Amino acid sequence: MNRFFSLMRLRALLAKETIQMRRDRVTFAMMLGVPLMQLMLFGFAINTDPKELPAALVAPTQDRFTRAIVSALELTGYYRFTAIGTTMAEAEEMITRGDVSFVVTVPSDFGRRVERGDGATILIEADATDPSVASGAISTLSTVARSALQREAGFSPPAPPVEILVHRRYNPEGITQYNIVPGLLGVILQLTMVMMTAMALTREIERGTMENLLAMPATALEIMLGKIMPLLAVGAVQVAVVLIAAKLVFDVPFVGSLPLVLAGVFVFVLALVILGYLISTLSRTQMQAMQLTFFFFLPSLLISGFMFPYRGMPQWAQVLGEVFPLTHFLRLIRAVMLKGAEPATVAGPFAALGLFTLILAIVALLRFRRTLD
């Protein structure tokens, strides 16, 4: 027998690896699932030029010129007026909460000024916390507005004098770091907290110390709390580092309440460590725990609104994005830090994170009991 190479030995090794791969269903599923997930998300869900962005209209008198402006903006494909006839206070609350990306304000004397040929003015406020969302929509404003009024009023060239005032709210200079750095807090916490917690229980199984843990007179809830509570301290250190760097290094504005931010971070981190604990009950090895963590991390990173505009994704991707806690945390942290949102304004993200935490905790406790029979 050839001691350097043998087809028989090679066939035996290939058969052994095939059997082992079939038994390791998690790894096999990752090999097929991750490429398919990336293909679907990058091919269908990712869009760097979002269209049909929600907008609110503040117009005391909705004359034919105002209607012409609204129709022209909708025809561009960038604007979708979901709130017409709102007051300034209602529109302010909507843009702060993130329900709309634009607020179009048309003064009450707009129609009279257009007919007389005086200087008419339209104010468009854009939520510029994500500069890439507003750039395409803003670039079409002046030409579209003048063309619409020219057709409606029957002016021959030149078009009626209309001034479009664009107010980029919360990030007037369009600095990308203002949007990215607060989001990085959520991304860093998600990756580290979920992975560290997921590997905590599987490490006990691999080292053979799980039996000693089960022999202790402790309930499933006590074991879970004992595993996740030390990691909350690690998360607190990461939060402090990111927030200090955001202020001192990147000069990110912090116009909201620090206690409100810390409360949101606490609920978010609690949800993440419980999620990691749930993953640990589904895994038998640390490698499986790491694979499941990345299988959860990748889609949440892509469709949460961190890397690509959330409004630019199709409706099915936005619905899927609501499942991930990172989506709600990004809304909360950006609204408080950049917009100065009050507790009532971010009650929705808080409620979503709380519900996510409660459901995961119940499932993790039930799963823990089933896997330790």
Domain CATH for 130: 3.40.1710.10
Residue 161 has a pLDDT of 67
Task: Give dist(CA 217, CA 139) in Å, integer.
Answer: 66
Q: How many domains does the chain have?
A: 2
Indicate whether 24 belongs to any domain.
Answer: no
Indicate whether 265 belongs to any domain.
Answer: yes
Task: Give dist(CA 287, CA 351) in Å, integer.
Answer: 33
Q: What is the mean pLDDT of residues 148-161?
A: 62
Given a contact cutoff of 8 angstroms between Cβ atoms, the answer to whether 186 and 239 are in contact is no
Given a contact cutoff of 8 angstroms between Cβ atoms, the answer to whether 278 and 17 are in contact is no
254 and 275 both lie in a single domain? yes
DSSP class of residue 249 equals T
**What are the b/e assignments for 253-272, b being 16+ CB within 10 Å?**
eeebeeebbebbbebbbbbb
**What are the b/e assignments for 24-63, b being 16+ CB within 10 Å?**
bebeeebeeeeeeeeeebeeebbeeebeebbbbbbbeeeb
Given a contact cutoff of 8 angstroms between Cβ atoms, the answer to whether 213 and 223 are in contact is yes
227 and 138 both lie in a single domain? no
Domain span including residue 279: 177-371
360 and 280 both lie in a single domain? yes
pTM above 0.85, yes or no: no
181: pLDDT strictly greater than 70: yes
Task: Give dist(CA 225, CA 222) in Å, integer.
Answer: 5
301: pLDDT strictly greater than 70: yes
pLDDT band for position 26 (cuts 50, 70, 90) = low
211 and 353 both lie in a single domain? yes
95 and 211 both lie in a single domain? no
In three-state secondary structure terms, 118 is: coil
129 and 103 both lie in a single domain? yes
Q: What is the mean pLDDT of residues 276-284?
A: 84
Task: Give dist(CA 111, CA 64) in Å, integer.
Answer: 8
Residue 76 has a pLDDT of 83
Residue 234 has a pLDDT of 84
DSSP string, 60-74: SS--HHHHHHHHHHH
284: pLDDT strictly greater than 90: no
Q: What is the mean pLDDT of residues 166-184?
A: 88
**CB proximity list for 111: less than 8 A, separation 6 or greater:** 61, 63, 64, 65, 66
pLDDT band for position 50 (cuts 50, 70, 90) = confident
198 and 165 both lie in a single domain? no
| Summary mean pLDDT of the chain | 82
pLDDT tens digits for range 64-106:
888 888 888 888 888 888 888 888 999 999 999 888 989 988 8
R_g of the chain, CA atoms, integer Å: 27
135 and 162 both lie in a single domain? yes
pLDDT band for position 370 (cuts 50, 70, 90) = very low
Indicate whether 61 belongs to any domain.
Answer: yes
254 and 356 both lie in a single domain? yes
18: pLDDT strictly greater than 80: no
User: In this structure, what is the dihedral angle of CA atoms 36, 20, 278, 233, given to the nearest 10 degrees?
Assistant: -100
- Torsion sign, CA atoms 174, 340, 323, 314: negative
Indicate whether 160 belongs to any domain.
Answer: yes
Terminus-to-terminus CA distance in the chain, angstroms? 49
154 and 184 both lie in a single domain? no
In three-state secondary structure terms, 22 is: helix
Q: Which of 122-126, 215-219, 225-229 has the highest mean pLDDT?
A: 122-126
More confident: 205 or 81? 81
Q: What is the mean pLDDT of residues 280-293?
A: 83
pLDDT tens digits for range 28-44:
666 777 677 777 777 77
199 and 308 both lie in a single domain? yes
216 and 317 both lie in a single domain? yes
Bridge partners for 58 per DSSP: 105
